Structure 1
Amino acid sequence: MTRAWKLPLLLLLCGSAFAAGSVFTGGPATAVVLLLMFLVLAGVHSPLVFPRPVTLLEARRRSAADGRPVVLWRPGCQYCIRLRARLGRSARRLHWVDIWRDPAGAAAAREANDGNETVPTVIVAGRPHTNPDPAWVRAQLSPPV
């Protein structure tokens, strides 16, 4: 749990330090802009921008019931952030497994990626797909015609 928040907290601390330095050098407007920029970066890299994660066991159970893909991800991963951002509201329809919180999810990522915890790994119908195109993932949410 704490590993997921290290980068966002570091970004907040750095942003606060840079903003404080800007205030002392006479640039309060610059300080506000810097603080807001670091706050946005911390938010994007935090687990807050992702849907609530579930365990791999629960995600597989839900996926078997509704046919929706399972996404193995971790906080701070730029490719996971890209996938989440490009999916938009559709991201809430996926089952997200934080591999830093769930050892079974981390093991599944390693199994699918030759021993590496490469994310995002999207599992569709039992088959893993590493770092797929977000448009392809969105297409997997559509019912077959």
Structure 2
Amino acid sequence: MMRAWLLPLSLVLCGSVVAAGLASRGSSPGAVAVLLMFVLIAGVNSPLVFPRSIGAVEAQRLSAADGRPVVFWRPGCTYCLRLRFRLGRRARQLHWVDIWRDPAGAAAVRAANEGNETVPTVVVAGQPHVNPDPAWVREQIFRSA
């Protein structure tokens, strides 16, 4: 759990230190701007940007029932962020599994990627696809609807 928040918390801490240094030198507007920038970057790299994660077993069960793809991801992954932002509101139609929170999800990703935890890994109809194009994932969402 804490592992997912390590990067965002580190960014906020670093931003606070830099902002405090700028404020002590009399640059209050600069301090506020730097702190806001660090908080924004921390927010984008936090688990809050992604839809609620569920366990791998539950996601696979739901996917078998409704045909929607399962996305295995982890916080801080730029490719996962790209997929999430390019899907927009459609991202909520997928089943998301945070591999840092779910050991079964991490094992499923390693099994699909020759032992590597390469994310995002999108599983459609039991077939894993590593770092697929967001347009292709949108097409899979439409097919499952």
TM above 0.5, yes or no, is: yes
**What are the equivalent positions in structure 2 for 1:1-145 lying under 5 Å apart?**
1-143=1-143
SS at 1:129 equivalent: strand
SS at 1:8 equivalent: helix
In 1, Cα distance between the equivalents of 2:18 and 2:74?
A: 28
Structure 1 residue runs of 5 or longer lacking an equivalent are none
In 1, Cα distance between the equivalents of 2:20 and 2:130?
A: 42
CA RMSD of aligned residues (A): 1.2
Structure 2 residue runs of 5 or longer lacking an equivalent are none
Q: CA deviation at 1:66?
A: 1.1
String of CA shifts for 1:23-50, please: whole Å, max 9, x gaps. 1112111111101110011111110000
Q: CA deviation at 1:143?
A: 2.9
In 1, Cα distance between the equivalents of 2:62 and 2:30?
A: 48
String of CA shifts for 1:66-99, please: whole Å, max 9, x gaps. 1100000001111101110111100000000000
Q: CA deviation at 1:60?
A: 0.7
- Identity of paired residues, percent? 69
- Counterpart code for 1:43: G
- Counterpart code for 1:114: E
4+ residue runs of structure 1 moved beyond 2 angstroms?
A: none
- Counterpart code for 2:35: L
SS at 2:43 equivalent: helix
Q: CA deviation at 1:126?
A: 0.3
